[in-house]
Chains A and B, each alone.
Chain A
Amino acid sequence: MPVVVVEVMPKPELLDPAGKAVAGALARLGHSAFSGVRIGKRIELTVDRPVDEALLEEVRAIAEDLLANTVIEDVVAVYPSGAEDELDEFSIVAAGETH
């Protein structure tokens, strides 16, 4: 069955203590190339019918309403699984947000 992926990240201007803790661990393990880590979420919604634009629109609305709290997070992308290579076609970018 088709799957729609929603990606959510903490807002860039907010501190991400979980990412900071992982960055600290990387440094301790000797991985010196990484100056920052931020941790977000990937949410997979299994769909019982073919994915079309109307369904993606519904998922975008769910993403903004429930899956992310837009006070503290941004919805970075919404796309059908397997469409990672065509991200440009399906992704949504929150107003003013770049990724």
Chain B
Amino acid sequence: MARIGVVTFPGSLDDRDAMRAVRLAGAEPVALWHAERDLKGVDAVVLPGGFSYGDYLRCGAIAARSPIMGDVIEAANKGMPVLGICNGFQILVEAHLLPGGLIRNDHGSFVCRDQRMRVEHASTAWTNRFTVGDEITIPLKNGEGGFIASAETIRELEGEGRVVFRYLDVNPNGSMNDIAGIANERGNVVGLMPHPEHAVEPGFGPDTPAAMRSGTDGLVLFQSAVAALLAV
């Protein structure tokens, strides 16, 4: 069975939800601790949402320099699947595993909503069970989720097809080009602001036209990782 690690930093909030999502996707969740230089032999890593180190200095800045991140960066550069969710996405850009940056929402307020978005890249380790053009709904909750990058980086991301998810209906935080998530060149590292681990189980997900709280689109990201690991 695939083993997927979830790192807990001081101030992580959604680590247990992420572990539950991993289990529901058919993999074994493994708890990892920020202060240890030990990936416990996992096959993939999730950096969960929350407010690591209280967002001190900048969101994700201190977590990106924590002991375990040295190992995560090394493994990611060798091709291990890594998913950064919300604060985890901020940690990935601070660790330079993904380009660009995330700044305070342009309207200045925290936003919490069920967010529709379109899948734009379906050959990453975390999206291979989607089809390009799929429209999915995933809960979003952030205060600093505005994705920004230099014009050159945006050109590169768009030109190489590395925008993974794009916001639909509304741009909730002022992200450039409505970007909700991106991947590295190799497609093993993906970061996104919305929270797929909150849409994995009927009864607890976002509303859908079919039924209240029945949305499970987020589960597909974790199932994709399981499929990618089986394919290796």
Contact = CB atoms under 8 A, between A and B. Distances in A.
A71 B100 contact: yes
A16 to B, nearest CB: 8
Contacts of A33: none
Interface in B103-137: 103-108
A14 interface: yes
Given A10-B103, A14-B103, A71 B149 contact: yes
Contact of B108 (A10, A21, A66, A71): A21
Contacts, number: 36
Given A71-B100, A71-B101, A18 B61 contact: no
Given A20-B108, A21-B108, A69-B94, A14 B148 contact: yes
Interface centre among A15, A67, A71 (most CB of B within 10 A): A71
A15 B174 contact: yes
Interface in A55-95: 66-67, 69, 71-72
A12 interface: no
Interface string A1-29: 00000000010001101101100000000
Interface residues of A, number: 12
Interface of B: 57-58, 61, 65, 93-94, 99-101, 103-108, 146, 148-150, 174
Interface of A: 10, 14-15, 17-18, 20-21, 66-67, 69, 71-72
Contacts of B146: 15
Contacts of B148: 14, 71-72
Majority secondary structure of chain B interface residues (helix, strand, loop or mixed): loop
Interface centre among A14, A15, A69 (most CB of B within 10 A): A69
Nearest to A70: B101
A71 B104 contact: no
Contacts of B99: 71
A18 B108 contact: yes
Contact of B61 (A14, A15, A69): A69
B45 to A, nearest CB: 22
Contacts of B100: 71
Contact of A15 (B65, B94, B101, B106): B106
Which 6 interchain pairs have the tightest Cβ spacing? A72-B101, A71-B101, A17-B108, A17-B104, A21-B108, A72-B103
A69 B58 contact: yes
Contact of A17 (B65, B93, B107): B107
Contacts of B105: 17
Nearest to A41: B57
Nearest to B96: A71
Interface centre among A10, A17, A18, A67 (most CB of B within 10 A): A17
Contacts of B150: 71
Nearest to A67: B57
B154 to A, nearest CB: 12
B175 to A, nearest CB: 12
A15 to B, nearest CB: 6
